[in-house]
Structures are given as C-alpha cells and as structure tokens.
C-alpha cells in the first residue's frame, strides 16, 4: 500500500479579522516548524493575502473556502480562482456542507467548480457527507455515492490527481459529536472503493481522504490511526492556535 502523507487542515469559516489571522499564523509557524504533516489553513478571503505573506518560508499552506465556477465576469460578490491564486491561495475547499445547505450548492455546481479549479491548477478539497436524517434512514452510503458521482463523474484520471476528498458527516460538523473512528473508517473505505471502481486502484490507493466533523485534540488520534483516514479537516478547534498545533504535532 502507498504511504499517504498526513494532512491537517483548518477551515476558519467566517471567523477572524486580518490582524487576528496574521497573529495566528505568526504564532503557529514556530510551533509546527518540525512537523511531518502537511499543514493547511483556509482563512476568510479578506485575510488570504496577509496569511500567505506571513506563511511564506514556513511549512504552512494557505487556501480558500470557496470560489466561483466562472473564469471572470459580472458576478457580484463572487471570487475567481485566479484572484485566489493572486492572493496566495494554494488550494480551495469546495462543496462544504455549509455551502450546500445555506447557499444552495448542488453536486452539479460543485462539479463545475472542481472543473474550474482543475483548469486553473488550484488543488481542491471536495467535501461530501450525509445528514443525520439520511444516516438514520440507512442511506449514508447511497448519499455518499450520489455526491461522489455528481461531483467527480466525468473527470479523467489525470484531473483527479489534484483532488483531496473530505468526508464530513453533516451531523458531526460543529456539533461536538464526532463520527466514531469505526463509522469514519467505513465511509472512507467506501470512498476509496468508489474511486477504484470508477477510475483505478492506484489512484484510489494514493488519493488523500480527510475526516471532518468535531475533530479536536482529544479525538484526533483515534481517527487518524484508521487505515483509510489520511488527515483531518478541522473547523472550530482550528481557531485556537494551541489546539491546532497540538493536533498537527500529535
Ligand atoms: P467542526 O467543522 O470541526 O467545527 O465540526 C468541520 C468543518 O466544517 O470542516
């Protein structure tokens, strides 16, 4: 089996001013300088360029939480991949459940955004995951497959190389109720099997799959020791620099 590098990613959502963000990165950098994991932080747009500047010459990579599927144009309030790269973004999170729930993003829209990210050579983290209701009905695997098909269907093997997948059950996001390591591992295994079936084994073996949903210093290890969990996408607990550093260095 291929050795996949551990990725610890922070999604700050709509938190932190420019100054707060800069101080966080400045404080984090020396704490994690010797870390072996890949470290990603997605601040709000306004803090992107300052974070990228502070993070230059460190092992921290800065990215965005969303972007437009269009190259450019009359789209008030939107932001393009080119603008994100210009601001120093090294990656973009796409299809987060909050984008799906509050802003009506469908698998079709997310697919277009992924295509745009690929064209613009901006690595993407695609988020998928079922709601509590879907899990209770026993539909988790079905929902997962539908999202993967809708978002990734039609992409070539080459196009998929720059995509990371994050399994984020909606019922675990911001609730303090993380998926058990067993549930998360089973879902990650499903994702890998889906990639193997529709593309190939080698790609499935090499693709990074992160878990997200109430990850914190006290539960990260139990999740990351699972064979198909390659890292974490962390919301709430990534806002605190000590907690985040602890999770990177665990
Ligand atoms: P949480 O959020 O860690 O606060 O549950 C995870 C996410 O939304 O990516």
Q: Does pLDDT of 84 surpass 80?
A: yes
For 161, residues 6+ apart whose C-beta sits below 8 A from its C-beta are 203
Nearest to 41 by CA among 61, 22, 27: 61
Q: Whose CA is nearest to atom 3 of ligand 1?
A: 235
Helix (H, G, I), strand (E, B) or coil at 206: helix
Atom of ligand 1 nearest to the CA of 97: 8
pLDDT mean across residues, the chain = 97
pLDDT of residue 1: 56
Q: Rg (Cα) of the chain, in Å, rounded?
A: 17
Measured between alpha carbons, how far is 72 from 75 in angstroms, rounded to an integer?
8
- Residues 161-185, mean pLDDT to the nearest whole number: 97
**Residue 42 to residues 150, 202, 213, 238, Cα–Cα distance (Å):** 24, 29, 16, 10
Query: Crossing angle, helix 107-119 and helix 140-152, to 10 degrees?
Result: 40
- Total-model pTM: 0.98
pLDDT of residue 35: 98
Give percent of the chain with pLDDT exceeding 70.
99
Question: How many angstroms separate the alpha carbon of residue 176 from the centre of ligand 1?
Answer: 9
With bands split at pLDDT 50, 70 and 90, how would you rate the model's confidence at 153? very high
The two structure tokens encoding residue 239: 């806002």
Question: Which residues have any ligand 1 atom within 6 Å of their CB?
Answer: 11, 168, 173-174, 212-215, 233-237
SS (H, E, C) 58-107: CCEEECECCCCCCCCCCCCCCCCHHHHHHCCCCCEEECCHHHHHHHCCCH
Angle among Cα 29, 122, 223 to the nearest 5 degrees reads 55
Atom of ligand 1 nearest to the CA of 166: 9
Helix (H, G, I), strand (E, B) or coil at 157: helix
Question: How many angstroms separate the alpha carbon of residue 36 from the centre of ligand 1?
Answer: 23
The two structure tokens encoding residue 219: 């539960």
pLDDT tens for 206-237 read 999 999 999 999 999 999 999 999 999 999 99
pLDDT tens for 31-64 read 999 999 999 999 999 999 999 999 999 999 999 9
Measured between alpha carbons, how far is 23 from 41 in angstroms, rounded to an integer?
13
For 107, residues 6+ apart whose C-beta sits below 8 A from its C-beta are 95, 146, 147, 149, 150, 151
Q: Does pLDDT of 125 surpass 90?
A: yes
With bands split at pLDDT 50, 70 and 90, how would you rate the model's confidence at 3? confident
- Residues 120-131, mean pLDDT to the nearest whole number: 98
């Amino acid at each position: 089996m291929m050795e996949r590098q551990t990725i610890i990613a922070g999604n700050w959502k709509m938190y932190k001013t420019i100054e707060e963000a800069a101080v966080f990165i400045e404080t984090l950098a020396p704490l994690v300088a010797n870390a072996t994991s890949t470290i990603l932080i997605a601040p709000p747009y306004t803090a992107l360029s300052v974070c990228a500047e502070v993070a230059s010459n460190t092992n921290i990579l800065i990215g965005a939480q969303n972007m437009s599927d269009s190259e450019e144009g009359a789209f008030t309030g939107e932001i393009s991949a080119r603008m994100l790269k210009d601001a120093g973004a090294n990656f973009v999170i796409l299809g987060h459940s909050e984008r799906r729930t509050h802003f009506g993003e469908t698998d079709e829209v997310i697919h277009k955004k992924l295509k745009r990210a690929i064209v613009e050579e901006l690595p993407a983290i695609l988020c998928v995951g079922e709601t509590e209701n879907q899990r209770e009905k026993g539909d988790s695997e079905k929902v997962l497959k539908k999202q993967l098909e809708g978002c990734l269907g039609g992409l070539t093997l080459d196009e998929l190389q720059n995509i990371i997948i994050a399994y984020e059950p909606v019922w675990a996001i911001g609730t303090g109720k993380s998926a058990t390591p067993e549930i998360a591992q089973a879902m990650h295994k499903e994702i890998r099997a889906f990639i193997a079936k529709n593309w190939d084994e080698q790609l499935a073996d090499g693709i990074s799959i992160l878990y997200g949903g109430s990850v914190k210093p006290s539960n990260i290890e139990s999740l990351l020791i699972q064979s198909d969990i390659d890292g974490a996408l962390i919301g709430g607990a990534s806002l605190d620099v000590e907690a985040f550093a602890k999770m990177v260095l665990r």
